[in-house]
Structure 1
Amino acid sequence: MKKLGFLIFILLLCFALSACGSNSTNANSKEQEKDTTVAESKNNSNNPNNSNQVESSKKTLDNVGDSLYDPDTGTVTLNAMKDISNKKLIIGDLKVDFLNSKVITITNFSDAFKAKLKDNFGGDPKGFTYAQIFYKTENTGKDEISWRGFRTAVISDGQQVDLDFNLNMGIPNPSSIEMMAKSKMDYNMVWVPVDKSEKSIRLKGENVLKSDNNKEDAIVYGKEIKIDL
């Protein structure tokens, strides 16, 4: 009888231990599942392909006819686009490599952008079309130089256009840059007001000055280059 009671006690003890082990396993499993969910959430937030990035990537002007709304400017439409990476301009030790040109029209202006247009051009503009030209610069020499970018352009009908408005509107066309020897600057840009049908313009690069005025080539006068649109 005692033996039977002892066996029953052992069986009950084993059953109790098994149940505890099962509960512990379930708890650990749930905790791991929770940690995995948190990790996935963090990974998604750091993933460059998340929904916000995808939505943002759609807001680009990649093809002629593309249009988008930019709250800082208005409705932006791409009229023309051209690869101009074969274009280079050399002024003394300065080398300008052109990247691309786009003809863009902005309508339905934001209040801030319309105010900027009025300040720079006057009147009551309903639309603004311009050539957007990307370029990068390099000082190929051994001396520090300074340069004031592109200050004027000539459009197809021979009219000369003042480009100083770029500075007032915050466009990264240098107003005055100093470049150390053997240095480079990427992502420069200049806007030139044009008609939608414009096929080319001429840009005038400003003089290049060396910081050492005693050099024979301390000043190299600016040059023009034709840019296809």
Structure 2
Amino acid sequence: MKKYGVLFFALLLCFILTACGNSSSNANSKEQEKNTTPAENKSGNSNNTAQEEGSKKKLHKVGDSLHDPNTGTVTLNAIKDISNKKLIIGDLKVNFLNAKVITITNLSDAYKAELIENFGGNPKEFTYAQILYKTENTGNDEISWSGFHTAVTGDGQQMDLDFNLSFGNPNPASIDMMSNSKIDNNMVWVPVKKDEKSVRLKADNVLKRDNSKKDFIVYGQEIKIDL
């Protein structure tokens, strides 16, 4: 009889410990859910807010200005529709979209350091023409192209545009295009004066992957862009 009593007591003790363990586990699970869920919601709301704010901060018309903590105060000086401009180099067709003249003042320390690294001096502001374009390979061969790497301003000043690569602009340092393909949202910056009226861009050569073709290389051309 004592043996059955001891066995019953042992089973009862195990049941009590198991129940306590489940209660503790449920409590911990609820506590973790309580701690993580608000953080995830907060993060999601923060991203949504940032996207909403980003969508509002665009330069649509002359005189528009915004503050970018990474660069400074950004102001639109001029904007021009240049969709009538096209450049054809062999199988490559470049369709231009628009050109904006933009000035950045109240430069952030990091952006000023980047300007000094690329252009020297001690800049107080930076004005540039932002030229948007898209490319199309109209042929049946794969081609490569390296964008616009030289410009001449209205007063005849020639400059190298390779700084676009370090600024992260999608003006291709080297790009391969498959046959009958398109690439949108290309962009090149050209440092200019605020009242600049035009710039001349020199496109790089277009090469075919098959170098046995007679038109393996087509030399780059120049185009004038009104600002």
TM-score range, shorter chain: 0.7 to 0.9
1:56 match: secondary structure: helix
The match for 2:177 is 179
Q: Which residues in structure 2 correspond to 1:1-229 (within 5 Å)?
A: 53-229=51-227
Task: Return the offset for 1:170.
Answer: 1.1
One-letter amino acid of the structure 2 residue matched with residue 196 of structure 1: K
1:119 match: secondary structure: helix
Supply the RMSD in Å over aligned alpha carbons: 1.5
One-letter amino acid of the structure 2 residue matched with residue 146 of structure 1: S
Q: Work out the CA distance in 1 between the residues paired with 2:54 and 2:140.
A: 42
The match for 2:13 is none
Task: Return the offset for 1:137.
Answer: 0.3
Task: Return the offset for 1:57.
Answer: 2.5
Deviations 1:196-219 (A, max 9, x none): 010111110100000111100000
Q: Work out the CA distance in 2 between the residues paired with 1:183 and 1:156.
A: 34
Q: Work out the CA distance in 1 between the residues paired with 2:165 and 2:209.
A: 23
Q: Work out the CA distance in 1 between the residues paired with 2:104 and 2:89.
A: 33
Q: Work out the CA distance in 1 between the residues paired with 2:178 and 2:87.
A: 19
2:116 match: secondary structure: helix
Q: Work out the CA distance in 2 between the residues paired with 1:106 and 1:197.
A: 15
TM-score (norm 2): 0.77
Report which of the two structures shows the higher radius of gyration computed on alpha carbons.
1
One-letter amino acid of the structure 2 residue matched with residue 207 of structure 1: N
In the alignment, structure 1 segments of 5+ residues that lack a partner are 1-41
Task: Return the offset for 1:51.
Answer: 6.2
Q: Work out the CA distance in 2 between the residues paired with 1:136 and 1:72.
A: 27
Aligned residues: 183
Distance 1:51 1:72, change over 3 A: closer
Q: Work out the CA distance in 2 between the residues paired with 1:209 and 1:139.
A: 11
The match for 1:30 is none
In the alignment, structure 2 segments of 5+ residues that lack a partner are 1-40
One-letter amino acid of the structure 2 residue matched with residue 168 of structure 1: S
In percent, how many aligned pairs have the same letter? 74
Q: Work out the CA distance in 1 between the residues paired with 2:197 and 2:203.
A: 20
